[in-house]
Structure 1
């Protein structure tokens, strides 16, 4: 069995779907670019626990916080002004916090890939 230092194993809550997506994303990068990608992606991704906390705060304190954090400003404003779509939307986000985190992290992986391709030759 081949064992090597995989930097993505450093994320304690990286889902298999996210790991697969990230590995596909960096497959065409050289080692220097992969290091840079890892550095950029580390700062951009949100953990599943973070998304759970944002969803709980969004349910009880500031409706739509989880949507603002993921960059969905329009949905965040809608949740804010409708009290989380009468709590139903906030409860659904609480149930689906893993998929919210996964979708956000996929967007950040693609964005990090684009930054890496432009910054490192």
Structure 2
């Protein structure tokens, strides 16, 4: 809780609720080293970079206004990008999130995003 307050200069009721829920559920308490990789606090868990490659992606998104991620399916590119967007929305850094996808030819598969 102190870490959240020190890094964001504010403590929202949702932050307190999330911390209480994590403690009650018996989730592992996050040590100081892991706090730097946290992207978003959800109601049930924290969303954070879990692999060294995701940590590089995390650092790149924090440092740059635009970041491109290329890699195999299932590596967390879209998941982490959406987590960053939701985090920015909750912090008031943006007013809305717009998801866009490229136009595809008939018969081609785009993937997860509708």
**Fold equivalence (TM over 0.5):** no
Instruction: Give the number of the structure whose residues are more often strand, by fraction.
Output: 2
Instruction: Give the number of the structure whose residues are more often helix, by fraction.
Output: 1
TM-score by length of 2: 0.31
